[in-house]
Structures are given as structure tokens and as C-alpha cells.
Structure 1
Amino acid sequence: MPMLQRIQRAYEALFSESPTLESRPAEERPILQPGQIDVRSLIERYDAAKHAELADAYFEPLVDNPVLRRKPFSHAHDAVYIMASLAHVMEGLRLFPQATVLDFGAGTCWSSRILASVGCRVTALDVSKNALKIGRSVHEQDPLTRDLPIDFQVFDGRSIPAGAASFDRILSFDAFHHAPDQAGLLREFSRVLVEDGIVGFAEPGPYHSLTPTSQMEMRAYNVIENDIRVEEIWDTARACGFADIRLSFTMPYQELLSLDEFNRILAAKSAPDEIVFSAGNVLMHKNRRVFFLYKSTSREQDSRFVGGSDGLRCAMQLRDITVEDASTVRLALTIENVGKSTWRASGGGPGCVNIGVHLRGADNSMLDNDFTRLSLSSDRVRPGEKREVNELLPLPELDDFTIELDPVAENVTWFELTGGSPLRLTFRNRRYVAQH
């Protein structure tokens, strides 16, 4: 049975058992029941400044709340729900070392600390000064995060305090549905993103405003709990300059199987609907949206990302080696990009590809994993392209040793770790004798 048909039948089966407003097609607007709050009326009731003031007031009594300060690990169930969504949105954002990331609607900034922990330069933006106060306090008190680069900024509800093309990535984790002006915010996202930038969203579904929790929050605090209707968001995003959209389809809740069931599924390369489309997974997709907006249709994979086992691969050939003097030899190499990722030009920035050099002793023990670096190319090397390299290699003050040449994407990975094989040059009595 085709995958889309399996999805449709699983959804229909669940909805027929428990018909709800959420089972309506995404383009239909929900019908308000007597006494329910219309989120659109709430949005129109106040201007942006007042909505920001109400959001800040929401957090004011929670500044010292220990449960909120532990987020996303406040409760076991919440942690599973949040971390599953976070894993998917972080994967789709294709983060890389030193990426500039706007954490929009950062709240208590737990996601900002995680982004900073994986090497990103983060701006935590929120309309609530009190929420940012909590985030800054937790950040500064944690010895594991307090030295990481997070810039805490207050959002006025209208304009993001940054220049054009300031961010590589934007994360909106359970924040966009609180925004009173989604169209204006999408224009701002487009403005502050670089040309190949990505916005990643993890948000509730198209009938979020009608859930009991949302109705309670709006009634008690006048905070916005809007619906996320991806069709409408995409129409607006295209008008704001975004070129593409993708939605994450994942099965976040696991099913525990016997060993025999597990092996049968692997052998068949297929799983029964009741496992793949369990009630928990169907409900998650009914009430949750993880999706991505792209500034460009070209999503070139480059060496800032590992890209799987076939991403960073090379074929390296030693054409010649000549002695320059007692401490230096000259290497003539041909290096071909046989992977699927474009190599960034040689240098010191994240993902820049150089030829890394390991030094091993006569007994093959590693003496220096970062003995030196050689330049590979002054420009990008796309899949299938070759470069001729002519570089001086300093020799160690040893008689017998082995030099290993292995390209390295700086701050990302050595090519050997993705399945490549270094070129090994063996020296005896300081003379080159063989390659492996």
C-alpha cells in the first residue's frame, strides 16, 4: 500500500473512533462553541505593545519558579515531547559550528542554551523582559553554559533588532503561535536571514486555540494561543520572499517490540500500520507541526555538515615528493571530491577544508594528531572536481616516522571519520620510502 494511502487510512481510523474539531481538513476554520474565546478577536483587541506587556506580565510571578527554570526537563512527559520535537527541528535546520541563530520567542532561553552548547552564536529574542531575566539567570549560574555566546534581546513585537542578512538560521519553538502579526513577523524573518537561510518551526496544530489549555490561558491571562495553519503561513511566506517549504513527517513516539518482531520488520523492510501509525504518533501529527521555510531553492550541501557517510569523501593521489632541504619536502598531490558535499575553500573558518597531517611513530603510535595543515584549495571544490596541490611539508625531528594526510573540515570532522582512508607516507632515516 502506498505510504500516503497508509497515512490517510490511519488518520481516518483514528478520527472515526474519536471525532473532534481537529479532524476537520486544515483549510476549514473551527466552529466556536458557546463561551469559547475567538483568538482572532483577542489579537485585534490590543496593539503590539499591549500584547508584549501582557506576555511580560505572564512571566512576572514565575521569575523564581524552580520548575520553569528546569525546562525542558521540568517533567518527564514534557521532556519527551519537547526533546522529540527539538531533535527534528534541529536536524532540519542543518546547524553548523559558529552559525548565527536567532532563537525567536526564546522565553526562558532553554533552547538558546542548547543551541549555544552545540557551537552556535545565539541571539535570544523575546517580548518578555521577565522571561529573558529567567533565561539569563539560569545561563549565568550554570558553569557549563555561562561562557557560551548568547545575546539576550527584547523584542518590541514589530521589528527584530538586527540588520539585514544577520542570521544563518532562525528557530521558532512554540513561539510563532503567540505572535499577533504573523505576516509582519515573516517579513522580518525574511529580512534578517542570509540568502540561503532557514527558519525552523516547532509549533502546535491548526486547532490549537480551541484546546482546553489554550482557552484557559487566553481567558486568564489574555495571552495569544493562535492556530498554526501551514497553508496560510506558506502563502504569506512566499509573498515575503521565501522560496520553499518542507514539513517534517516523523514518528516521534516509539513502539516497544519483541526481538522476533523487531527482526521480522527489518527483514521485511516494512512495519504494520498499528506500529508505524500508533495512536500516539497520529495524535502528534494531528496536533503538532514541525516545518521549515527556505530563502533559496538551492540547498547545496557543503563541508560545514557531515552529510552522512557519502558526504565528505575524497580520492587522494601522491604524484611526486621531492626533498627541499633537511627539514622539508615538497608534495605534489591530486585530490578529487568523490563525495556529495561541496568543500569550502581552505582556511580557518567552520567547514573550510584543509589537508590535515597526523604524525605517527615507527611503532605506529599517534605522536601528534594535529601535526600541521596544508592548503587544499583557494576556492570551493564541488563534487566531481579535482585540485592539484603543491605544498611544502615540514618534517619532524625524528628518524623513523609516518605521515598521514587526511582532509579535515575545520571544526566539523576529519574525512577518515566519515569513511575515508588517509594517505600514509612512511619515512626511514628521514627518507621517504613508501606510501600506503
Structure 2
Amino acid sequence: VKNLMDYSIGWADTSVKAGDNYKNSEITLLNKVDDLGSFTGPGLLSPFNPYEFHHSAEFIRGFSNCIPSLNINVGSYVLDSGSGYSWTTEWFMKMGVHAVGLEINRTYLDVGRRRMGLNQPHLIIADAENLPFADGVFDAILGFDAFHHIPDRPKAMRAFERVLKNIGRVVLVEPGGAHEMNAISQSVMQKYGTMEIGMELSDVQMYIDGI
């Protein structure tokens, strides 16, 4: 009952900071899931899905496309922002990269830990707009199908810039500007209250203006 009240008050209270309602929805998303096992089950095999070949192939291809753009190597430090079930963080670790997975929802990370066992990278519950890291510690930042969930994207970009070394890169894998018009996206936004607003390159330019 308390969770339901907090959720309803959050949406009705205009005094809350813009975007906090989306973050609250991300944090409490699993409370709105009808079948938790079916929802989180794929996380135990991520990025593989034995029933969705093309889904698995797109994930793997997307990650492979990121590698050259990140400009990293063995021993590099990478922030995996919005890591979800953190298979990307895990793969970085297996490639000799010092990876930190950051996710606002604890349940996703718990599922990732179950999949990885004892050998796992650092997984941290935090907000991408307010990164809990010292300045200039990462060589690169990856946002894999995650940045479109962030309410205040210019603030997140400024946070990314702060924790990057002087020469560092941010790589985003995103579904595009029409993402929110997709029927599935609209259904997700209505049911879970999360942000599903896409972006184009011109939008990204606006996020980084002034940095």
C-alpha cells in the first residue's frame, strides 16, 4: 500500500524535481510486473535469448560496434551507465577491462550477480545524473540502450564529462528519435511510468553544448 501511495503522490506532487517521477518509476518498476520470474528470467542468460535469435544477434552486434569507438584496451576503466542485467559490464571484465556497471534499479543488478556468480565486475546502484565517482577516473563511458531513459540528459552528460579523463569517450547505443511512437514503447510508458523518449544526433549535440 505504501508503495502505491508513494507512486501516486509522486505523480501528483508538482513540487518534486522534474524527472524524479521517471526515476521513481525505474526504481520501483518491478513492483508493477505481473510475473516477476518471466520478466527477469532473460537476465540470467543475457544477452542470449534462445527464443529470440534476432534479439540476441542485435545485442551482440551492437556491443561489437561499440568496441572500436570506445578506444579502450586491457586495463582501461569503463563506466557502463544504465547497465541493466550488466552483461555488457561482464563482457568488459572478461576482456581485461576495469568495468563498473551503474544501474538505478537494484533488482536488475541482483539478477546480474546471480548470472555471473562470484566472478563479477563492480555493480553500483546510482543515478546517472549524479555519479558517485571522483573526477577524471574513466577512460570511456558506454550507454547501451539506456540513455533514452534519463530525464535530464544535459545534466547526465555533464556528469559523464566530469568523471572522464581529459581524453575520454562517451558511446551511446540508442533506438532513435521515433522510439516513443512505437506501440511497445507507449505501452511500457503507460504501464510502468518510465521514460522512453528517443533521440537523434542533433539532440545529442544539444546535450553536450556548453561542455
TM-score interval, smaller chain: 0.7 to 0.9
Which residue, out of 106, 110, 130, partners 1:159?
130
Q: What secondary structure, in the 3-state scheme, does the structure 1 residue paired with 2:28 have? A: helix
Count residues in correspondence. Answer: 192
Out of 199, 205, 210, the residue aligned to residue 234 of structure 1 is 205
Distance in 1 (CA, whole Å) between partners of 2:145 and 2:119 is 26
Change (3 A) 1:49 1:130: farther
Post-superposition shift, 1:217? 0.4
SS of the equivalent of 1:204 reads: coil
Rounded to whole Å, the distance in 2 between the matches of 1:77 and 1:51 is 29
1:147 partner amino acid: N
Compute the TM-score of the two structures, normalised by the length of structure 1: 0.42
Q: TM-score of the superposition, structure 2-length normalised?
A: 0.83
- Equivalence for 1:109: 86
Output the amino acid matched with 1:83.
Answer: I
| Contact kept? 1:63, 1:130, Cα under 8 Å | no
Question: SS at the partner of 1:160?
Answer: coil
CA deviation digits over 1:129-182, x for unaligned, max 9? 111111122122xxxxx335x111111353101011010110000000000110
Question: Aligned equivalents of 1:63 and 1:191: distance in 2?
Answer: 38
Q: Cα RMSD over matched residues?
A: 2.2
Question: Which protein is richer in helix relative to its size?
Answer: 2
For residues 170 and 63 of structure 1, what CA distance do their matches in structure 2 show?
A: 31
Query: What residue number does 1:66 align with?
Result: 41
- Give the letter aligned to residue 93 of structure 1: L
Displacement of 1:115: 0.8
The whole-number CA distance in structure 1 between the counterparts of 2:68 and 2:30 is 30
Which one has a bigger Cα radius of gyration?
1
Report the Cα offset of residue 238 of structure 1: 3.5
Report 1:78-227 matches (<5 A). Answer: 78-140=55-117, 146-148=118-120, 150-156=121-127, 158-227=129-198
Relative distance call for 1:63 and 1:171 in structure 2 (3 A) is farther
Separation in 1 of the partners of 2:105 and 2:22?
10
Structure possessing the higher relative contact order (Cα contacts under 8 Å, 6 or more residues apart): 2
State, as a whole percentage, how many aligned pairs show the same letter. 24
State the distance in 1 between where 2:199 and 2:89 align: 23
The residue type equivalent to 1:137 in the other structure is: R
Contact map agreement 1:63 1:131 (CA 8 A) in 2: no
Q: 1:45 to 1:175 in 2, by over 3 A?
A: farther
- Residue segments in structure 2 that go unaligned for 5+ positions in a row: 1-13
Change (3 A) 1:221 1:46: farther
* In structure 2, distance between residues paired with 1:73 and 1:225: 23
Is the 2:148–2:196 Cα contact (8 Å) retained in structure 1? yes
Contact 1:59-1:131 at 8 Å conserved across structures: no
| Counterpart mapping for 1:3-402 below 5 A | 47=17, 48-59=19-30, 61=33, 62=36, 65-74=40-49, 75-140=52-117, 146-148=118-120, 150-156=121-127, 158-240=129-211
Alignment partners' CA distance in 2, 1:112 and 1:156: 17
Q: Which runs of 4+ in 1 moved over 6 A?
A: none
